[in-house]
Structure 1
Amino acid sequence: MSSPFDAPSSPEQPVDRDSREQYVLPLVVRIERADPPARTDALETSARAVLTLLADPRVTEDGGAWAERVLAWEDARIRKVVRRARGGEWRKAGELPGITVTGAAAEVRVFPPVPLDGWPKELAKLQVSGTDLDDPAEPAAPADGLPVLWLNPDLEMSAGKTMAQTGHAAQLAWWRLDDTRRKEWAESGFALAVRTAAPEAWAALTASGLPLVRDAGFTEIAPGSCTVVADHPALR
Protein backbone atom coordinates (compact mmCIF):
# COMPACT_ATOMS: atom_id res chain seq x y z
CA MET A 1 0.00 0.00 0.00
CA SER A 2 1.20 3.51 -0.71
CA SER A 3 1.89 5.62 2.35
CA PRO A 4 3.83 8.85 1.70
CA PHE A 5 4.99 11.12 4.50
CA ASP A 6 7.12 14.20 4.77
CA ALA A 7 10.72 13.93 5.88
CA PRO A 8 11.81 16.51 8.45
CA SER A 9 13.10 19.82 7.13
CA SER A 10 14.75 22.81 8.73
CA PRO A 11 12.39 25.69 9.54
CA GLU A 12 15.08 28.04 8.23
CA GLN A 13 15.13 26.23 4.91
CA PRO A 14 11.58 25.17 3.99
CA VAL A 15 11.45 22.47 1.35
CA ASP A 16 8.75 22.09 -1.29
CA ARG A 17 9.00 18.34 -1.61
CA ASP A 18 6.02 18.07 -3.95
CA SER A 19 7.83 20.11 -6.61
CA ARG A 20 10.64 17.56 -6.87
CA GLU A 21 10.63 14.38 -8.92
CA GLN A 22 8.82 11.77 -6.89
CA TYR A 23 10.33 8.37 -6.16
CA VAL A 24 8.91 5.35 -4.37
CA LEU A 25 10.56 2.55 -2.41
CA PRO A 26 9.08 -0.79 -3.58
CA LEU A 27 8.63 -3.61 -1.09
CA VAL A 28 7.29 -7.00 -2.10
CA VAL A 29 6.01 -9.48 0.47
CA ARG A 30 5.77 -13.15 -0.41
CA ILE A 31 2.27 -14.45 0.25
CA GLU A 32 1.71 -18.01 -0.92
CA ARG A 33 -1.90 -19.16 -0.85
CA ALA A 34 -1.23 -22.26 1.22
CA ASP A 35 1.22 -20.75 3.70
CA PRO A 36 0.95 -16.97 4.25
CA PRO A 37 3.15 -15.37 6.91
CA ALA A 38 1.76 -14.15 10.21
CA ARG A 39 0.84 -10.48 10.25
CA THR A 40 3.28 -9.35 12.96
CA ASP A 41 6.11 -11.32 11.34
CA ALA A 42 5.43 -9.51 8.05
CA LEU A 43 5.29 -6.10 9.75
CA GLU A 44 8.58 -6.63 11.55
CA THR A 45 10.27 -8.02 8.44
CA SER A 46 9.14 -5.05 6.36
CA ALA A 47 10.64 -2.61 8.87
CA ARG A 48 13.88 -4.57 8.96
CA ALA A 49 13.99 -4.61 5.15
CA VAL A 50 13.85 -0.80 5.01
CA LEU A 51 16.64 -0.53 7.57
CA THR A 52 18.73 -3.11 5.73
CA LEU A 53 18.54 -1.08 2.54
CA LEU A 54 19.39 2.18 4.33
CA ALA A 55 22.50 0.57 5.84
CA ASP A 56 23.63 -1.16 2.64
CA PRO A 57 27.03 -0.03 1.24
CA ARG A 58 25.36 0.56 -2.12
CA VAL A 59 23.47 3.37 -0.34
CA THR A 60 25.95 4.60 2.27
CA GLU A 61 29.20 4.68 0.33
CA ASP A 62 30.16 7.53 -2.00
CA GLY A 63 29.43 6.43 -5.54
CA GLY A 64 27.30 3.52 -4.33
CA ALA A 65 25.08 2.03 -7.02
CA TRP A 66 21.90 3.05 -5.19
CA ALA A 67 23.10 6.18 -3.39
CA GLU A 68 21.88 8.72 -5.93
CA ARG A 69 18.41 7.20 -6.16
CA VAL A 70 18.02 7.01 -2.39
CA LEU A 71 19.07 10.65 -2.07
CA ALA A 72 16.52 11.70 -4.71
CA TRP A 73 13.87 9.67 -2.92
CA GLU A 74 14.66 11.24 0.45
CA ASP A 75 14.65 14.75 -1.05
CA ALA A 76 11.01 14.37 -2.10
CA ARG A 77 8.17 12.66 -0.24
CA ILE A 78 9.25 9.40 1.34
CA ARG A 79 6.89 7.02 -0.39
CA LYS A 80 6.80 3.27 0.17
CA VAL A 81 4.53 0.85 -1.65
CA VAL A 82 4.01 -2.75 -0.58
CA ARG A 83 2.90 -5.30 -3.17
CA ARG A 84 2.43 -9.04 -2.88
CA ALA A 85 3.81 -11.90 -4.95
CA ARG A 86 3.72 -15.68 -5.03
CA GLY A 87 5.19 -18.48 -7.10
CA GLY A 88 6.66 -17.33 -10.40
CA GLU A 89 5.95 -13.68 -9.61
CA TRP A 90 8.14 -13.92 -6.52
CA ARG A 91 10.93 -15.63 -8.44
CA LYS A 92 10.90 -12.94 -11.16
CA ALA A 93 10.93 -10.17 -8.55
CA GLY A 94 13.96 -11.84 -7.00
CA GLU A 95 15.88 -11.46 -10.24
CA LEU A 96 15.78 -7.65 -9.98
CA PRO A 97 18.42 -5.82 -7.92
CA GLY A 98 17.26 -5.71 -4.33
CA ILE A 99 17.59 -7.31 -0.90
CA THR A 100 15.46 -10.12 0.50
CA VAL A 101 14.98 -10.04 4.27
CA THR A 102 13.47 -12.97 6.15
CA GLY A 103 11.67 -13.15 9.45
CA ALA A 104 10.33 -16.17 11.33
CA ALA A 105 8.53 -17.19 8.15
CA ALA A 106 7.94 -13.91 6.31
CA GLU A 107 9.98 -12.90 3.27
CA VAL A 108 10.12 -9.29 2.09
CA ARG A 109 12.23 -8.01 -0.79
CA VAL A 110 13.11 -4.32 -0.86
CA PHE A 111 14.28 -2.59 -4.02
CA PRO A 112 16.14 0.68 -4.57
CA PRO A 113 13.76 3.62 -5.18
CA VAL A 114 12.17 3.99 -8.61
CA PRO A 115 10.40 6.98 -10.20
CA LEU A 116 6.75 7.10 -9.17
CA ASP A 117 5.67 6.38 -12.76
CA GLY A 118 8.69 4.26 -13.68
CA TRP A 119 8.17 0.90 -12.01
CA PRO A 120 9.91 -2.14 -13.56
CA LYS A 121 7.29 -4.22 -15.34
CA GLU A 122 8.00 -7.21 -13.09
CA LEU A 123 6.89 -5.14 -10.08
CA ALA A 124 4.26 -2.92 -11.70
CA LYS A 125 2.00 -5.88 -12.42
CA LEU A 126 2.02 -7.11 -8.82
CA GLN A 127 -1.12 -6.43 -6.81
CA VAL A 128 -1.33 -4.02 -3.90
CA SER A 129 -4.56 -5.50 -2.55
CA GLY A 130 -4.80 -8.90 -0.93
CA THR A 131 -2.24 -8.32 1.79
CA ASP A 132 -4.62 -9.02 4.66
CA LEU A 133 -2.81 -11.23 7.15
CA ASP A 134 -3.59 -12.50 10.64
CA ASP A 135 -1.66 -13.56 13.72
CA PRO A 136 -2.44 -17.14 14.80
CA ALA A 137 -1.90 -16.09 18.42
CA GLU A 138 -1.42 -12.88 20.37
CA PRO A 139 2.24 -11.80 20.04
CA ALA A 140 4.24 -12.06 23.25
CA ALA A 141 5.40 -8.96 25.07
CA PRO A 142 8.61 -7.59 23.52
CA ALA A 143 11.88 -8.37 25.27
CA ASP A 144 13.38 -5.70 27.51
CA GLY A 145 15.62 -3.29 25.63
CA LEU A 146 14.24 -4.23 22.22
CA PRO A 147 13.22 -1.36 19.90
CA VAL A 148 9.44 -1.40 19.55
CA LEU A 149 7.29 0.12 16.81
CA TRP A 150 3.99 0.89 18.55
CA LEU A 151 0.87 0.86 16.37
CA ASN A 152 -2.09 3.16 16.95
CA PRO A 153 -4.75 1.00 18.64
CA ASP A 154 -7.57 3.11 17.20
CA LEU A 155 -6.75 2.64 13.51
CA GLU A 156 -7.61 -0.26 11.25
CA MET A 157 -5.23 -0.73 8.33
CA SER A 158 -4.52 -3.56 5.94
CA ALA A 159 -1.31 -5.48 6.49
CA GLY A 160 0.22 -3.89 3.39
CA LYS A 161 -0.56 -0.37 4.58
CA THR A 162 0.76 -1.18 8.04
CA MET A 163 3.96 -2.66 6.58
CA ALA A 164 4.61 0.68 4.88
CA GLN A 165 3.94 2.49 8.15
CA THR A 166 6.33 0.32 10.18
CA GLY A 167 8.94 0.91 7.50
CA HIS A 168 8.42 4.67 7.89
CA ALA A 169 8.77 4.47 11.68
CA ALA A 170 11.96 2.42 11.47
CA GLN A 171 13.40 4.96 9.02
CA LEU A 172 12.60 7.88 11.31
CA ALA A 173 14.34 6.12 14.19
CA TRP A 174 17.35 5.39 11.96
CA TRP A 175 17.68 9.06 11.06
CA ARG A 176 17.76 10.01 14.74
CA LEU A 177 20.53 7.57 15.72
CA ASP A 178 24.23 8.36 15.65
CA ASP A 179 26.70 6.17 13.77
CA THR A 180 27.56 4.07 16.82
CA ARG A 181 23.92 3.23 17.55
CA ARG A 182 23.26 2.51 13.89
CA LYS A 183 26.15 0.07 13.80
CA GLU A 184 24.93 -1.67 16.94
CA TRP A 185 21.43 -2.02 15.52
CA ALA A 186 22.75 -3.36 12.21
CA GLU A 187 24.91 -5.91 14.02
CA SER A 188 21.79 -7.22 15.78
CA GLY A 189 20.14 -7.83 12.40
CA PHE A 190 17.94 -4.81 13.13
CA ALA A 191 16.17 -6.64 15.92
CA LEU A 192 12.83 -5.00 16.68
CA ALA A 193 9.24 -5.73 17.60
CA VAL A 194 5.95 -4.41 16.28
CA ARG A 195 3.09 -4.31 18.75
CA THR A 196 -0.23 -2.49 19.11
CA ALA A 197 -0.07 0.04 21.91
CA ALA A 198 -2.49 -0.16 24.79
CA PRO A 199 -5.19 2.49 24.33
CA GLU A 200 -4.28 4.15 27.62
CA ALA A 201 -0.61 4.39 26.57
CA TRP A 202 -1.04 5.78 23.06
CA ALA A 203 -1.52 9.44 23.99
CA ALA A 204 1.66 9.44 26.08
CA LEU A 205 3.60 7.77 23.27
CA THR A 206 2.55 10.40 20.72
CA ALA A 207 3.56 13.19 23.13
CA SER A 208 6.87 11.58 24.12
CA GLY A 209 9.04 13.16 21.46
CA LEU A 210 9.88 9.74 20.01
CA PRO A 211 9.72 9.41 16.19
CA LEU A 212 6.09 9.57 15.12
CA VAL A 213 4.62 8.78 11.71
CA ARG A 214 1.79 11.00 10.49
CA ASP A 215 0.21 9.66 7.32
CA ALA A 216 -0.58 11.84 4.33
CA GLY A 217 -3.97 10.16 4.06
CA PHE A 218 -3.88 9.16 0.41
CA THR A 219 -5.13 5.63 1.18
CA GLU A 220 -7.25 3.97 3.87
CA ILE A 221 -6.97 6.55 6.66
CA ALA A 222 -7.54 10.28 7.21
CA PRO A 223 -4.76 12.81 6.48
CA GLY A 224 -2.58 13.53 9.49
CA SER A 225 -3.41 10.30 11.25
CA CYS A 226 -0.75 9.23 13.75
CA THR A 227 0.04 5.63 12.89
CA VAL A 228 3.26 4.43 14.55
CA VAL A 229 5.66 5.56 17.28
CA ALA A 230 9.24 4.25 17.10
CA ASP A 231 10.43 3.52 20.63
CA HIS A 232 14.17 2.86 20.35
CA PRO A 233 15.98 2.71 23.73
CA ALA A 234 18.71 5.06 22.48
CA LEU A 235 16.11 7.75 21.77
CA ARG A 236 14.44 7.85 25.18
Structure 2
Amino acid sequence: MTSPFDAPVPAPAPEDRDARPQYVLPLLVRLEKATPPGRTDALETSARAVLTLLADPRVTEADGEWAERVAAWEDARIRKVVRRARGGEWRKAGELPGITVTGQEAEVRVFPPVPLDGWPKELAKLQVSGTDLEEAGPVDAAEAGLPVLWLNPELEMSAGKTMAQTGHAAQLAWWRLTDAQRKEWAESGFALAVRTATPEAWAELVASGLPLVQDAGFTEIAPGSCTVVADHPALRG
Protein backbone atom coordinates (compact mmCIF):
# COMPACT_ATOMS: atom_id res chain seq x y z
CA MET A 1 0.00 0.00 0.00
CA THR A 2 1.41 3.39 -0.96
CA SER A 3 1.60 6.36 1.37
CA PRO A 4 -1.07 9.04 0.87
CA PHE A 5 1.81 11.47 0.51
CA ASP A 6 4.06 9.66 -1.95
CA ALA A 7 5.72 12.00 -4.44
CA PRO A 8 4.32 11.81 -7.99
CA VAL A 9 6.24 10.76 -11.06
CA PRO A 10 7.77 13.83 -12.79
CA ALA A 11 5.53 15.34 -15.44
CA PRO A 12 6.25 14.25 -19.02
CA ALA A 13 7.59 16.64 -21.63
CA PRO A 14 5.00 18.99 -23.23
CA GLU A 15 5.11 17.21 -26.58
CA ASP A 16 4.41 13.89 -24.85
CA ARG A 17 1.52 15.37 -22.86
CA ASP A 18 -0.15 16.68 -26.02
CA ALA A 19 -0.04 13.24 -27.66
CA ARG A 20 -1.79 11.50 -24.78
CA PRO A 21 -5.54 11.25 -24.09
CA GLN A 22 -6.68 14.55 -22.62
CA TYR A 23 -8.59 14.84 -19.35
CA VAL A 24 -9.93 17.80 -17.43
CA LEU A 25 -10.51 18.35 -13.72
CA PRO A 26 -14.02 19.76 -13.18
CA LEU A 27 -14.47 22.35 -10.45
CA LEU A 28 -17.93 23.64 -9.60
CA VAL A 29 -18.54 26.81 -7.62
CA ARG A 30 -21.88 27.39 -5.94
CA LEU A 31 -23.17 30.75 -7.09
CA GLU A 32 -26.56 31.57 -5.63
CA LYS A 33 -27.99 34.90 -6.80
CA ALA A 34 -28.67 36.24 -3.33
CA THR A 35 -25.54 35.00 -1.60
CA PRO A 36 -22.54 34.87 -3.93
CA PRO A 37 -19.20 34.24 -2.22
CA GLY A 38 -16.44 36.84 -2.14
CA ARG A 39 -13.86 36.58 -4.90
CA THR A 40 -10.81 35.85 -2.72
CA ASP A 41 -12.79 33.34 -0.66
CA ALA A 42 -13.72 31.49 -3.86
CA LEU A 43 -10.13 31.54 -5.15
CA GLU A 44 -8.75 30.15 -1.91
CA THR A 45 -11.46 27.50 -1.69
CA SER A 46 -10.80 26.37 -5.26
CA ALA A 47 -7.11 25.88 -4.49
CA ARG A 48 -7.92 23.96 -1.33
CA ALA A 49 -10.38 21.77 -3.27
CA VAL A 50 -7.66 20.71 -5.73
CA LEU A 51 -5.29 19.87 -2.88
CA THR A 52 -8.00 17.96 -1.03
CA LEU A 53 -8.58 15.76 -4.05
CA LEU A 54 -4.85 15.15 -4.56
CA ALA A 55 -4.48 13.99 -0.95
CA ASP A 56 -7.63 11.82 -0.94
CA PRO A 57 -7.02 8.05 -0.48
CA ARG A 58 -9.16 7.40 -3.56
CA VAL A 59 -6.33 9.09 -5.48
CA THR A 60 -3.23 8.25 -3.45
CA GLU A 61 -3.82 4.55 -2.89
CA ALA A 62 -2.62 2.37 -5.77
CA ASP A 63 -6.03 0.70 -6.00
CA GLY A 64 -8.01 3.89 -5.29
CA GLU A 65 -11.10 4.30 -7.43
CA TRP A 66 -9.90 7.66 -8.80
CA ALA A 67 -6.18 6.86 -8.98
CA GLU A 68 -6.13 5.74 -12.62
CA ARG A 69 -8.05 8.77 -13.85
CA VAL A 70 -5.88 11.21 -11.93
CA ALA A 71 -2.74 9.52 -13.24
CA ALA A 72 -4.03 9.81 -16.82
CA TRP A 73 -4.90 13.47 -16.23
CA GLU A 74 -1.47 14.24 -14.79
CA ASP A 75 0.23 12.46 -17.71
CA ALA A 76 -1.44 14.85 -20.16
CA ARG A 77 -2.22 18.56 -19.96
CA ILE A 78 -3.37 19.32 -16.43
CA ARG A 79 -6.50 21.15 -17.44
CA LYS A 80 -9.00 22.52 -14.96
CA VAL A 81 -12.37 24.00 -15.86
CA VAL A 82 -14.58 25.91 -13.43
CA ARG A 83 -18.34 25.92 -13.94
CA ARG A 84 -21.05 27.48 -11.80
CA ALA A 85 -24.32 26.19 -10.42
CA ARG A 86 -27.13 27.18 -8.09
CA GLY A 87 -30.23 25.64 -6.59
CA GLY A 88 -31.28 22.34 -8.13
CA GLU A 89 -28.28 22.26 -10.46
CA TRP A 90 -25.95 22.38 -7.45
CA ARG A 91 -27.89 19.64 -5.66
CA LYS A 92 -27.84 17.35 -8.71
CA ALA A 93 -24.12 17.88 -9.21
CA GLY A 94 -23.63 17.00 -5.56
CA GLU A 95 -24.95 13.52 -6.28
CA LEU A 96 -21.97 12.82 -8.55
CA PRO A 97 -18.78 11.41 -6.99
CA GLY A 98 -16.65 14.29 -5.77
CA ILE A 99 -15.59 16.37 -2.77
CA THR A 100 -17.15 19.62 -1.59
CA VAL A 101 -14.80 22.06 0.12
CA THR A 102 -16.07 25.11 1.97
CA GLY A 103 -14.46 28.44 2.72
CA GLN A 104 -15.81 31.35 4.71
CA GLU A 105 -18.87 31.42 2.46
CA ALA A 106 -17.67 29.79 -0.75
CA GLU A 107 -18.50 26.20 -1.69
CA VAL A 108 -16.50 24.45 -4.38
CA ARG A 109 -17.01 20.86 -5.46
CA VAL A 110 -14.16 19.07 -7.20
CA PHE A 111 -14.75 15.94 -9.26
CA PRO A 112 -12.30 13.27 -10.44
CA PRO A 113 -10.95 14.02 -13.93
CA VAL A 114 -13.13 13.31 -16.95
CA PRO A 115 -12.21 12.95 -20.65
CA LEU A 116 -12.04 16.33 -22.36
CA ASP A 117 -15.05 15.42 -24.53
CA GLY A 118 -16.76 13.17 -21.98
CA TRP A 119 -18.28 15.42 -19.32
CA PRO A 120 -21.20 14.01 -17.31
CA LYS A 121 -24.41 15.57 -18.57
CA GLU A 122 -25.12 17.08 -15.13
CA LEU A 123 -21.92 19.13 -15.46
CA ALA A 124 -21.73 19.61 -19.24
CA LYS A 125 -24.86 21.77 -19.28
CA LEU A 126 -23.57 24.19 -16.65
CA GLN A 127 -22.11 27.52 -17.67
CA VAL A 128 -18.43 28.38 -17.70
CA SER A 129 -18.58 32.03 -18.72
CA GLY A 130 -19.85 34.79 -16.48
CA THR A 131 -18.23 33.56 -13.29
CA ASP A 132 -17.33 36.99 -11.93
CA LEU A 133 -17.34 37.79 -8.25
CA GLU A 134 -16.83 40.86 -6.10
CA GLU A 135 -15.02 40.95 -2.79
CA ALA A 136 -17.31 40.53 0.21
CA GLY A 137 -15.22 43.06 2.17
CA PRO A 138 -11.67 44.31 2.66
CA VAL A 139 -8.95 41.74 2.01
CA ASP A 140 -6.32 41.84 4.74
CA ALA A 141 -2.64 41.05 4.30
CA ALA A 142 -1.89 37.34 4.38
CA GLU A 143 -1.10 35.88 7.78
CA ALA A 144 2.63 35.50 8.39
CA GLY A 145 3.93 32.01 7.60
CA LEU A 146 0.92 31.08 5.47
CA PRO A 147 1.42 29.72 1.94
CA VAL A 148 0.41 32.46 -0.50
CA LEU A 149 -0.67 32.11 -4.11
CA TRP A 150 0.37 35.40 -5.68
CA LEU A 151 -1.62 36.67 -8.67
CA ASN A 152 -0.07 38.57 -11.55
CA PRO A 153 -1.11 42.22 -11.03
CA GLU A 154 -1.02 42.96 -14.76
CA LEU A 155 -3.53 40.31 -15.89
CA GLU A 156 -7.29 40.56 -15.89
CA MET A 157 -9.10 37.23 -15.63
CA SER A 158 -12.62 36.20 -14.71
CA ALA A 159 -13.11 34.69 -11.28
CA GLY A 160 -13.67 31.28 -12.86
CA LYS A 161 -10.44 31.45 -14.85
CA THR A 162 -8.53 32.65 -11.80
CA MET A 163 -9.96 29.83 -9.69
CA ALA A 164 -8.51 27.34 -12.16
CA GLN A 165 -5.16 29.14 -12.02
CA THR A 166 -4.95 29.15 -8.22
CA GLY A 167 -5.84 25.46 -8.19
CA HIS A 168 -3.02 24.81 -10.62
CA ALA A 169 -0.53 26.83 -8.55
CA ALA A 170 -1.46 24.90 -5.42
CA GLN A 171 -0.91 21.63 -7.31
CA LEU A 172 2.56 22.71 -8.48
CA ALA A 173 3.50 23.54 -4.90
CA TRP A 174 2.13 20.17 -3.70
CA TRP A 175 4.33 18.32 -6.17
CA ARG A 176 7.46 19.98 -4.80
CA LEU A 177 6.83 19.26 -1.14
CA THR A 178 8.22 16.31 0.77
CA ASP A 179 5.94 13.68 2.28
CA ALA A 180 6.26 15.28 5.72
CA GLN A 181 5.53 18.77 4.36
CA ARG A 182 2.46 17.51 2.52
CA LYS A 183 1.19 15.80 5.63
CA GLU A 184 1.63 18.97 7.68
CA TRP A 185 -0.21 21.04 5.09
CA ALA A 186 -3.04 18.54 4.87
CA GLU A 187 -3.40 18.51 8.66
CA SER A 188 -3.86 22.30 8.58
CA GLY A 189 -6.81 21.90 6.21
CA PHE A 190 -4.58 23.22 3.44
CA ALA A 191 -4.43 26.68 4.96
CA LEU A 192 -3.41 29.23 2.32
CA ALA A 193 -4.07 32.73 1.05
CA VAL A 194 -4.56 34.23 -2.40
CA ARG A 195 -3.37 37.79 -2.88
CA THR A 196 -2.39 40.05 -5.79
CA ALA A 197 1.30 40.90 -5.85
CA THR A 198 2.62 44.40 -6.37
CA PRO A 199 4.37 44.87 -9.73
CA GLU A 200 7.75 45.02 -8.01
CA ALA A 201 7.12 41.91 -5.94
CA TRP A 202 5.75 40.06 -8.97
CA ALA A 203 8.99 40.49 -10.89
CA GLU A 204 10.93 39.05 -7.95
CA LEU A 205 8.48 36.17 -7.53
CA VAL A 206 8.73 35.16 -11.19
CA ALA A 207 12.51 35.07 -10.92
CA SER A 208 12.52 33.28 -7.55
CA GLY A 209 12.31 29.70 -8.76
CA LEU A 210 9.06 29.15 -6.85
CA PRO A 211 6.30 27.22 -8.68
CA LEU A 212 5.00 29.40 -11.49
CA VAL A 213 1.88 28.83 -13.56
CA GLN A 214 2.22 29.60 -17.26
CA ASP A 215 -1.14 29.30 -18.93
CA ALA A 216 -1.63 27.28 -22.12
CA GLY A 217 -3.78 30.08 -23.52
CA PHE A 218 -6.92 28.09 -24.30
CA THR A 219 -9.17 30.85 -22.88
CA GLU A 220 -9.05 34.55 -21.95
CA ILE A 221 -5.29 35.17 -21.95
CA ALA A 222 -2.33 34.70 -24.29
CA PRO A 223 -0.40 31.40 -24.33
CA GLY A 224 2.54 31.43 -21.96
CA SER A 225 1.10 34.13 -19.70
CA CYS A 226 2.47 33.91 -16.16
CA THR A 227 -0.56 33.92 -13.88
CA VAL A 228 0.25 32.72 -10.34
CA VAL A 229 3.32 32.04 -8.20
CA ALA A 230 2.94 29.55 -5.32
CA ASP A 231 4.93 30.90 -2.38
CA HIS A 232 4.99 28.09 0.17
CA PRO A 233 7.38 28.74 3.10
CA ALA A 234 8.74 25.18 2.82
CA LEU A 235 9.90 25.89 -0.74
CA ARG A 236 12.03 28.89 0.13
CA GLY A 237 15.72 28.15 0.57
Residue of structure 1 equivalent to 2:125: 125
CA distance in 1, matches of 2:200, 2:134: 24
- Per-residue CA deviation, residues 28-66 of structure 1 (Å, 9 max, x unaligned), is 000000110000000000000000000000000110000
Instruction: Give the partner amino acid of 1:143.
Output: E
In the alignment, structure 1 residue 109 sits paired with structure 2 residue 105? no
CA distance in 1, matches of 2:136, 2:104: 13
Identity score, percent = 84
SS across alignment from 2:84: strand
User: Which shifted more, 226-235 or 128-137?
Assistant: 128-137
Residue of structure 1 equivalent to 2:80: 80
> 4+ residue runs of structure 1 moved beyond 4 angstroms?
7-10
What's the Cα RMSD here? Answer: 1.3
CA shift, 1:137, in A, is 2.7
Count of matched residue pairs: 228
Residue of structure 1 equivalent to 2:58: 58
- Per-residue CA deviation, residues 83-125 of structure 1 (Å, 9 max, x unaligned), is 0000000000000000000000000000000000000000000
Instruction: Give the partner amino acid of 1:40.
Output: T
Residue of structure 2 equivalent to 1:21: 21
CA distance in 2, matches of 1:223, 1:186: 32
Contact 1:166 1:228 in 2 (8 A): yes
Residue of structure 2 equivalent to 1:185: 185
SS across alignment from 2:26: strand
Contact 1:149 1:229 in 2 (8 A): yes
CA shift, 1:129, in A, is 1.2
Contact 1:58 1:66 in 2 (8 A): yes
CA distance in 2, matches of 1:154, 1:45: 23
Instruction: Give the partner amino acid of 2:47.
Output: A
Residue of structure 2 equivalent to 1:70: 70
Instruction: Give the partner amino acid of 1:154.
Output: E
Structure 1 gaps, min length 5: 1-6
Residue of structure 2 equivalent to 1:99: 99
CA distance in 2, matches of 1:192, 1:14: 29
Residue of structure 1 equivalent to 2:169: 169
Instruction: Give the partner amino acid of 1:95.
Output: E
Q: How does the TM-score come out when normalised to structure 2? A: 0.94
Structure 2 gaps, min length 5: 1-8
